[in-house]
Structure 1
Amino acid sequence: MKKLEISVIRNSVREKAIIEYERRTSTLSIEFSNGVQKTFTEIDVYTCFGSLRKEFSDVKFLCKGSKVNVYPSAMASQMSGGVVAYEVRIGDPNAELVRIFDYEENDLTNNINEQIAYRAKWAESQY
């Protein structure tokens, strides 16, 4: 499993959490600084991260994968196991490939459905 440290805001306090993921098995684990741990297995790592954010909705995850305008294409998900996704902007046909655990603090959401809706709105803006 690949292990990395991410920043989160929990109870208005910025702290670190440890993420471990395995692309091959689509498994994601987190350990918060207070020792709370949880593991998720889904269709890819991005979807695991969505389930993690839903379960810990009181925590702000300071990652690109939490950004409302970041969502993987089917090909990006398949090739990276969901570790990379596209950051898009309404009206802009260019999409930027980003790593979902890279640092981000703007336009964050814990609701993956908001990300799906934004992606659909972006796709419609291309016509």
Structure 2
Amino acid sequence: MKEIEIHIIKNNKKETAQIKFDRRSRTLIFTMSDGSSKTCTGDDLYVCFGTIRAYFPDIIFLCKGARINVHPSRMTSQMSSGLVAYELKIGLPTEEDDIVRIFDYEEKDLTNDIKIQQEHYLLWIKSLSPNG
């Protein structure tokens, strides 16, 4: 398993937490400094991260993968096991420059509800249609 440090806001205080992940088994382990931990195995790491965020609704995850407009494509999910995704812009197709790593630092437009991200993804798809 690979391990990285991320930033979270817990009880209005910024702190670090650990993420361990295995791309092959699509398993993610989130551990906070107080020892609280949650493990998830799923379709990809993006989905696992969404499940873990939902499990801790009072924590703000300062990560690109928690941003409302970040969503993987089938290709990024298959190639990276969900470790990378696209930052979507309404009305514009994705470009290579729109690829982000889901655990990179982010402060804007964050959510713990993966359904909000899925709704934004559908809105983005609709925005690409000539009939909008």
In the alignment, what sits opposite 1:126?
128
Q: TM-score, normalised by structure 2?
A: 0.94
Which deviations, in whole Å up to 9, do the C-alpha atoms of 1:36-60 show, x marking residues without a partner?
Answer: 1111111111110000000001100
Q: Which residue of 1 aligns with 2:66?
A: 66
Q: Distance in 1 between matches of 2:81 and 2:94?
A: 22
Name the residue aligned to 2:80.
80
Report the Cα offset of residue 13 of structure 1: 0.4
Partner of 1:24: 24
Tell me how many residue pairs correspond in the alignment.
127
Q: For residues 1-127 of structure 1, what are the structure 2 equivalents within 5 Å? A: 1-95=1-95, 96-127=98-129
TM superposition outliers: structure 1 runs of 4+ over 6 Å? none
In proportion to residue count, which structure has more strand?
1
- Secondary structure, counterpart of 1:58 in structure 2: coil
Q: Which runs of 5+ in 1 are unaligned?
A: none
SS, match of residue 6 in structure 2: strand
Specify the code of the residue in structure 1 equivalent to 2:26.
Answer: S
The structural deviation recorded for 1:93 is 2.1
Q: CA deviation at 1:94?
A: 3.0
Letter in 2 for 1:102: D
- Contiguous gaps of at least 5 residues in structure 2: none
Q: Secondary structure at the match of 2:18?
A: strand
With the length of structure 1 as denominator, give the TM-score of the two structures: 0.97
State the alpha-carbon separation in 2 of the partners of residues 123 and 44 from structure 1: 21
| Partner-residue secondary structure (3-state), 1:114 | helix
Structure 1 residue 29: deviation in Å? 0.2
The DSSP-based 3-state class of the residue aligned with 1:3 is: strand
Question: What is the alpha-carbon root mean square deviation over aligned residues?
Answer: 0.8
Identity %: 50
CA-to-partner distance for each residue in 1:3-57, whole Å, 9 max, x for gaps? 0000000010000000000010000001101111111111111110000000001
